[in-house]
């Protein structure tokens, strides 16, 4: 922990992550899903909510619709491709919001300590007491479901644990030589925080970020499953919810989008594990 450059001196982080089987597998899955999201418009142009074929076409029976169609004749493959956009978009933006609040609150609390710390930590505890999913559900229900409200609701309910992690790291750094030296030469608080403190908490934040995106995607799909999705876009969770009606006979309608969710979240968790190991070699002994 000798300077701000230190966090970046481990620059071949990507390489180190790729070297681990978990990291390589996670990145591969995510790259595939990212590609699906980007190419959704090309591979299946048109609105995925439109009826394009007969309903209840089982997967593999018609190669024009390789994954079949649901009870309204909507192409499942098209739904999955377009759904990837929603999942990734909501997941990433919500995680960015949570990162903003969590890192901000944690860093300020750890850096200034005292009264501000007490206030921020009480707020964090409070937010940890309100069940996050129910909270997000209430916010979306009150504000009416749309991509914006869903993303916002997930973002503002997901940050508390991150705030605690960041606070603990900053508290430890605060008394370190590096920060003390910066204080001694009269650097401003903002400068110290941005240049000396935050770069050094990048590691744990990066690990948390991948988990946050995973959690956000799970939350988004759960909200959509309950019928709190944006009605104008297709979402994996919403597809599962719709498939529930025909579960007894045509279970594939609910099963397929669920598998897509599992794949993305698994990829993110694998990436998180690999990042954790790469950044903290002490844990790699076994």
Partner 1 sequence: MIRTPAGRLFWARRLAQMVLVVLSIGTVNFLLLHLAPGDAAQVLAGESGSASPEYLAALRRQFGLDRPFPVQFGHYILRLVTFDLGFSHRQGLPVATLILDRLPATLLLMSASIGLAVLLGGALGFLAARRAGGLADALISGLALLFYATPVFWVGLMLTVVFAVWLDWFPVGGMRAIGATSGPGAILDIAHHLVLPPTTLGLFYMATYTRLMRASVLDVQDRDFVRTARAKGLADGRIAWRHVLRNATLPIVTTVGVQVGSILGGAVLVETVFSWPGLGRLAFEALFQRDLNLLLGILFLSSILVGVANLAVDLAYARLDPRIGLQG
Which C-beta is closer to partner 1: that of 12 or that of 227? 227
- For tokens 């297709």, the residue is 234
- DSSP-based helix, strand, coil % in the chain, nearest 5: 75, 0, 25
What are 98's strand-pairing partners?
none
Binding mask 60-99 for partner 1 (x = CB under 8 A): ----------------------------------------
The residue from 102, 132, 204, 229 that contacts partner 1 (CB under 8 A) is: 132
Residue 284 binds partner 1, judged by CB under 8 A: no
Residue 271: other Cβ atoms inside 10 A: 27
- Say if residue 263 is exposed, middle or buried (CB neighbours under 10 Å; 0-12, 13-18, 19+): middle
The alpha carbon of 232 is separated from its chain's Cα centroid by a whole number of angstroms, namely: 22
Residue 237 binds partner 1, judged by CB under 8 A: yes
Stretch that binds partner 1, among 51-59, 110-118, 199-207, 214-222 (CB under 8 A): 214-222
Does residue 113 contact residue 99 with C-beta atoms inside 8 Å?
A: no
The residue from 137, 163, 179, 206 that contacts partner 1 (CB under 8 A) is: 137
Residue 102 binds partner 1, judged by CB under 8 A: no
CA distance 225 to 82: 16
Which C-beta is closer to partner 1: that of 193 or that of 242? 242
Q: How many residues bind partner 1 (CB under 8 A)?
A: 47
The residue from 144, 148, 180, 232 that contacts partner 1 (CB under 8 A) is: 144
């Amino acid at each position: 922990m000798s300077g701000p450059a230190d966090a970046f001196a481990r620059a071949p982080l990507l390489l180190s992550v790729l070297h681990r089987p978990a990291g390589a597998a996670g990145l591969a899955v995510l790259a595939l899903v990212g590609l699906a999201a980007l190419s959704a418009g090309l591979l299946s142009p048109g609105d995925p909510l439109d009826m394009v074929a007969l309903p209840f076409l089982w997967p593999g029976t018609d190669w024009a619709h390789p994954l079949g169609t649901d009870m309204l004749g909507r192409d499942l493959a098209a739904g999955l491709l377009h759904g990837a956009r929603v999942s990734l978009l909501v997941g990433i933006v919500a995680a960015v919001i949570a990162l903003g609040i969590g890192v901000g609150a944690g860093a300020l609390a750890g850096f200034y300590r005292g009264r501000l710390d007490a206030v921020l930590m009480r707020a964090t505890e409070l937010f940890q007491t309100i069940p996050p999913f129910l909270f997000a559900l209430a916010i979306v229900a009150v504000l009416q479901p749309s991509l914006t409200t869903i993303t916002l609701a997930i973002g503002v309910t997901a940050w508390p644990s991150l705030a605690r992690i960041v606070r603990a790291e900053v508290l430890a750094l605060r008394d370190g030589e590096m920060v003390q030296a910066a204080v001694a030469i009269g650097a401003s608080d903002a400068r110290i925080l941005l240049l000396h403190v935050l770069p050094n908490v990048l590691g744990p934040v990066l690990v948390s970020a991948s988990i946050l995106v995973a959690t956000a995607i799970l939350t988004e799909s759960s909200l959509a499953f309950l019928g709190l999705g944006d009605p104008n876009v297709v979402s994996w969770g919403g597809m599962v919810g719709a498939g529930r009606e025909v579960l007894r006979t045509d279970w594939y309608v609910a099963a397929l989008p669920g598998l897509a969710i599992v794949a993305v979240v698994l990829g993110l968790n694998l990436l998180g594990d690999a990042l954790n190991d790469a950044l903290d070699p002490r844990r790699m002994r076994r």
